[in-house]
Amino acid sequence: MADGFVSGISDADERAIIEAIDKWIVKKVAPVAMKLEHDDIWPSDLVDDMTELGLFGALISPEFGGLGLSATTYSRIVTRISEEWMSLTGIFNSHLMMATVVQKFGTQNQKEYWLPKFADGSMRGGLGLTEPDAGTDLQGIRTVAKRVGDKYVVNGTKTWISNAIQGHVVALLVKTDPEANPRHKGMSMLITPKIDPETRAPLKGVANGKKLEKLGYKGIDSGEFIFDDYECSAELSLVGGEEGKGFVMATGGLEIGRINIAARSVGIARRALNESVKYSQMRKTMGKPICEHQAIQLKLGEMAAKTRAAELLVEDAARLFDTGARIDMEAGMAKYFASETALEVATEAMRIHGGYGYSKEYPIERLYRDAPLMCIGEGTNEMQRIIIAKQLIARNKV
């Protein structure tokens, strides 16, 4: 397993978890997903269910109250849920990226304090990286944290943060030394709650900005964090207890995030493919089902091959993550190819469905709206190709 991840359950237990999640999807998610997504409603009942299922502790070690699942099992769960409603996976994945940072890099005291609260869902949150003027270029962030005695005072704004409004805490990438050169040497990671973990009272100096309206990926809240002389404990908040390590922590958290995005993409592609196969056998033109027309067969054949290839790339990256190896190239490959596949397959599914694919009565239009985000989230696909190329060269020096 990757550093900080220890599988605490048997293969049989993992299969039981997946079966329980599958039953939940059929019974609880499928009947409401369409309405909640179209109305952009926070799925509070389903979040409660995910808490009971242990999904907020999926990758957290059993030592701290989590399930300790492998990345391989986790990615399969993400794919299955994404087939029904992709937005749900973003709620616990963003949270687990935050937990990953603490589990891999935190002090023992920080692990013992934060991880049980993350695992039981009592303190849900996400990863606070993006700013109005800094996305893929994380070194361009402007949020600053100054050490004052045993506290940090934080000022700045984060945007496009998942769980910003409904969540309680964020792993915040900040500049503790704005003059550092190279820039990444001046970056640190802080755990910054917006409510007191013990009393649940709101904390001063942190507020949410507007909820961001989106093309797809609805139901989950994407919003802003505004820090204005916000104070937090240096001992509990500075991950690892040492300044200047935040950039490495952020990219470490993004590894599991990219596997998640790739797994979500597979779910989108798989659902679009399955719906297309089913519809093509029901819809008739010129006296026969459209699946018997060569033009449709060509589409279905390519959709199926690329969806399966994406599945295998995700499995490859997740399996390697579980060994503790460096996986920036493999995660980048999975994220890049699977997300582009999701977009292509969703688009072809809409064409196969014709007017029905454009209707809100069918899931295709939702898949079509959700897919583009996969090409952007957790690092653009342009950046993924650069990462792949650089690692390819680094691993094959002549």
Please state, in angstroms and rounded to a whole number, the distance separating the CA atoms of residues 272 and 257. Answer: 23
Residue partners of 392: CB distance under 8 A and separation at least 6? 329
Residue 382: predicted pLDDT: 96
- Whether cis (ω within 30° of 0) applies to the bond prior to 363 is no
Tens-level pLDDT at each residue, the chain (398 residues): 334 344 556 778 888 999 999 999 999 999 999 999 999 999 999 999 999 999 999 999 999 999 999 999 999 999 999 999 999 999 999 999 999 999 999 999 999 999 999 999 999 999 999 999 887 788 889 999 999 999 999 999 999 999 999 999 999 999 999 999 999 899 999 999 999 999 999 999 999 998 999 999 999 999 999 999 999 999 999 999 999 999 999 987 788 999 999 999 999 999 999 999 999 999 999 999 999 999 999 999 999 999 999 999 999 999 999 998 889 999 999 999 999 999 999 999 999 999 999 999 999 999 999 999 999 988 899 999 999 999 999 999 99
CB 273 within 8 A of CB 303: yes
DSSP-derived 3-state class of residue 207:
strand
Please state, in angstroms and rounded to a whole number, the distance separating the CA atoms of residues 17 and 26. Answer: 14
Geometric angle at alpha carbon 175, from 174 and 178, rounded to 5° = 165
Please state, in angstroms and rounded to a whole number, the distance separating the CA atoms of residues 139 and 137. Answer: 5
- Whether cis (ω within 30° of 0) applies to the bond prior to 289 is no
| 42-to-26, 37, 39 alpha-carbon distances in Å | 19, 9, 9
**CB 160: neighbour CB atoms within 10 A?**
18
Residue 392: predicted pLDDT: 95
Architecture of domain 248-394: Up-down Bundle (1.20)
Torsion of CA 97, 98, 104, 109, to 10 degrees: -160
Residue 1: predicted pLDDT: 35
CB 153 within 8 A of CB 133: no
Residue 8: predicted pLDDT: 52
CB 291 within 8 A of CB 277: yes
Mark whether 378 is an active-site residue: yes
Please state, in angstroms and rounded to a whole number, the distance separating the CA atoms of residues 389 and 225. Answer: 34
Q: Please name every residue paired with 226 in a beta bridge, in sequence order, or none if there are none.
A: 157, 207
Residue 190: predicted pLDDT: 98
Residue 299: predicted pLDDT: 98
From the list 63, 275, 378, 382, the catalytic residue is 378
Encoded tokens for 107: 């002090």
Q: Which of 339, 189, 167, 311 is nearest to 250 (CA)?
A: 189
The CATH class given to the 125-244 domain equals: mainly beta
From-to residues of CATH 1.20.140.10 in the chain: 248-394
CB 53 within 8 A of CB 20: yes
152 conformational bin, left if phi > 0, alpha if psi -120 to 50, beta if neither: beta
Residue 5: predicted pLDDT: 41
Element (DSSP H or E) covering residue 188? strand 187-193
The CATH code of domain 11-119 reads 1.10.540.10
From-to residues of CATH 2.40.110.10 in the chain: 125-244
Residue 295: predicted pLDDT: 97
From-to residues of CATH 1.10.540.10 in the chain: 11-119
Residue 27: predicted pLDDT: 98
CB 257 within 8 A of CB 97: yes
